[in-house]
Structure 1
């Protein structure tokens, strides 16, 4: 990693007073590796030297490597003119630093509900007192946020120490994942051939580094993809990481079924939804169904052709949209 790596706790001291309006500040990008109740976890933080109590807390999709979101996080921090810190947390088991072995099948495997608990544990242990949090979910990260909101009062004993301001759901996979076009395609693969893919990942992991770099460059050929995304893809080429990514994806298709309309209605004014126009993980028919069920919901349908995996080619545009929503 090219960015600075520091102790996690050292970055969590800030003035509890609201910073108000400020001039644009130079971004400081920090990569942290911290222990969340026995689970090594990577946290990407973009902040100014003058810190803020406002935290944009990004929960990624799957795969959940923070480096995929580095360009997006830096753009968002810049658009917000340093008024918010931007944090991106990894999913448990999705970062190469979480595993010491390249042997297929070695290491702990974390399912979907483990990921929800992992985020609750991190918030409880590491989010500073008096923080004001804005949740941003991408893909399955949106479903994790809904589960966090439903369990927050029982899982965090002193909820008065933090403030959940609002939540933004980007390309949300929160219902009928197995019935989506991509779900129908991937279900047989995830159900029957996970171990074969993990074995391929093992062979890829023992290739010389220059050959892995060439394969990743070939995969992204003719695409203007940020270097951080290429580096994150290189980190994926590890069987223990692939095993966790695939197992979580398998569980997503099993677990994410009916939309929790009652829960969404409880948080109606504090959640903003953003659906893709041509998204095979959450088709626009899901958007229309949601708006019909809850006519007063804050939901938009993309008109700019942004893809589900927006971090690959649309980080700047998505960051600009999100910053405008936050400021308004």
Structure 2
């Protein structure tokens, strides 16, 4: 993986950008990123690097310091983290582990070292958006030490994923008993017969991925538990991501009460126009039920947008820079 500027942590399963500041009056804000499935943070390196550069060059970069942290979901980097893991993690496990990491993060250096961040902006991609809403749900107590200021949900799969075009297909396969484990066993044995260089070439040829993404995918396919973990978690997604399960403490209300003890974090949804993991009718129903109308100027309800630039669900493969630019604009607006 490419190296980064000072204050950057890049290793197996983790990417963090921590700008160095000796200004004691600066406010430190954490951007906490949650991946989609397969949950490999390496796919998002260009997105992180671009967003870090944009935020660092901002006119307020000396008074507002933006730290970015993201890590792979559990079970996807098993060789590098814990080779003793022998069973995959559930979706519920991923939520709990993401919450634990978020609660443990502190300013790493400078005059405010070890202090909590001034505020936190969560960013979730795909199923990471579902995890994001669950994190907010669990942290919404007024006594929570974390100031969750906003959530940015990219190509979110937060309701009825099994009704999406890809969800319909994969749900049929999950009717086969123990399909995730059996399929991963077959796939791993087939992959093991192909030299890495040849597999890397095949991945690039079949998927059309750029070189870096093809290399990451090759490593994922050859990993001990990656395929099993991805399929195991996907089955959970089909079973659990169904009806809208949150209330106004997540979704906000048409007229926000400024005296309410719990301030609803600002939410920005960015949907794909034709997303194979999000059915058009479930997306449109969610926007109609939960999105902010143009006339609702005092609303705390989410802003819900639909991409018009042909960006794929897996934006991190080919559209990292353009999405990072949008996210930077949203962060400026949030702050």
TM-score class, shorter: 0.7 to 0.9
Residue 185 of structure 1 pairs with residue 185 of structure 2? no
Task: Give the Å deviation of 1:2.
Answer: 4.1
- TM-score w.r.t. structure 2 length? 0.78
Selected match of 1:92 from 63, 74, 81: 74
Selected match of 1:168 from 144, 152, 175: 152
- The 1:269/1:55 distance shift into structure 2, 3 A limit, reads closer
Selected match of 2:231 from 230, 246, 257: 246
Q: What is the aligned partner in structure 1 of residue 56 from structure 2?
A: 81
Residue 199 of structure 1 pairs with residue 170 of structure 2? no
Q: What is the aligned partner in structure 2 of residue 13 from structure 1?
A: none
SS of the residue 2:88 aligns to: coil
Structure 2 distance, partners of 1:292, 1:147, is 21
SS of the residue 1:143 aligns to: helix
Task: Give the Å deviation of 1:249.
Answer: 0.4
Q: How large is the Cα RMSD of the aligned pairs? A: 2.5
SS of the residue 1:173 aligns to: coil
Structure 1 stretches lacking a partner, 5+ long = 5-25, 34-41
Selected match of 2:88 from 87, 97, 109: 109
SS of the residue 1:178 aligns to: helix
Structure 1 distance, partners of 2:175, 2:136, is 30
Task: Give the Å deviation of 1:190.
Answer: 3.4
Q: What is the aligned partner in structure 1 of residue 110 from structure 2?
A: none
- TM-score w.r.t. structure 1 length? 0.80
CA contact (8 A) 1:276 1:284 kept: no
Residue 134 of structure 1 pairs with residue 121 of structure 2? yes
Structure 1 distance, partners of 2:185, 2:45, is 26
Task: Give the Å deviation of 1:303.
Answer: 0.8
SS of the residue 2:216 aligns to: helix
- The 1:86/1:276 distance shift into structure 2, 3 A limit, reads same
CA contact (8 A) 1:65 1:94 kept: yes
Task: Give the Å deviation of 1:98.
Answer: 3.5
Task: Give the Å deviation of 1:219.
Answer: 2.9
Q: Which moved more, 1:111-120 or 1:199-208?
A: 199-208
User: Which runs of 4 or more aligned residues in structure 1 lie more than 6 Å from their structure 2 counterparts after TM superposition?
Assistant: none
Residue 256 of structure 1 pairs with residue 227 of structure 2? no
- Counterparts of 1:223-234 in structure 2, within 5 Å, are 223=209, 225=210, 227=212, 229-234=213-218
CA contact (8 A) 1:180 1:283 kept: yes
Q: What is the aligned partner in structure 1 of residue 332 from structure 2?
A: 327
Residue 63 of structure 1 pairs with residue 38 of structure 2? yes
Q: Which moved more, 1:236-245 or 1:185-194?
A: 185-194
Q: Which moved more, 1:204-213 or 1:174-183?
A: 204-213
Specify the structure having the higher radius of gyration (Cα).
Answer: 2
Q: What is the aligned partner in structure 2 of residue 215 from structure 1?
A: 202
Structure 2 distance, partners of 1:178, 1:322, is 28
Task: Give the Å deviation of 1:257.
Answer: 0.5
Residue 304 of structure 1 pairs with residue 309 of structure 2? yes
SS of the residue 1:86 aligns to: strand
Q: What is the aligned partner in structure 2 of residue 18 from structure 1?
A: none
Task: Give the Å deviation of 1:137.
Answer: 0.5
CA contact (8 A) 2:31 2:120 kept: yes
Task: Give the Å deviation of 1:78.
Answer: 1.2
Task: Give the Å deviation of 1:216.
Answer: 2.5
Structure 1 distance, partners of 2:184, 2:93, is 22
SS of the residue 1:280 aligns to: coil
CA contact (8 A) 2:163 2:279 kept: no
Structure 1 distance, partners of 2:30, 2:14, is 13
Structure 1 distance, partners of 2:312, 2:184, is 25
CA contact (8 A) 2:44 2:316 kept: yes
Task: Give the Å deviation of 1:120.
Answer: 1.1
